[in-house]
Amino acid sequence: MHKRSAGYAAAIVALSLVASCAKARAALVDATVGPVAPGLVEYTTDVLFRDVWLRPAPAARDRSLVTVSALIAAGQVAQVTYHLNRAMDSGLTREEAGEVITHVAFYAGWPTAFAAVPVAKDVFDKRRR
């Protein structure tokens, strides 16, 4: 297979995975947030899940990596589990995830990075099973 064709095929598979994850996430957001803030659900579903996350660049792995980094830096570790799993489904390794946490510590602070460690450990442990 030509190198470009292989890359294109991998991108199609990644986009399909992202699309199926986005549908599941959208259903969860609709069920939990919809009764309280239906407008927030609409923007999350239509703009975030159906536009931003499905753009071809950056690749799904890189988009997830940016998201995980931003969530850790913002101290929003409750959202890290979902996005770290998504990043790892798209090819991010445990070692790379650990390096992300270490790197973020220098820019967002040690307490912020340390708060993400147990979340990442839980993700790693559950993925081993």
pLDDT tens for 103-115 read 999 999 999 999 9
- Burial label for 95, CB within 10 Å (0-12, 13-18, 19+), is exposed
Amino acid 43: pLDDT: 87
pTM over 0.75, yes/no? no
Q: What is the pLDDT of residues 69-89, one digit of tens each?
A: 999 999 999 999 999 999 999
> Which amino acid, residue 48?
L
Show Cβ contacts of residue 36 under 8 Å, excluding neighbours closer than 6 positions.
none
Amino acid 117: pLDDT: 97
Which token pair is 86?
């998504």
Delimit the domains of the chain by residue range. Answer: 1-56, 60-129
**60-129 is classed CATH 3.40.50.300:** no
Amino acid 9: pLDDT: 56
Residues of the chain with pLDDT under 50: none
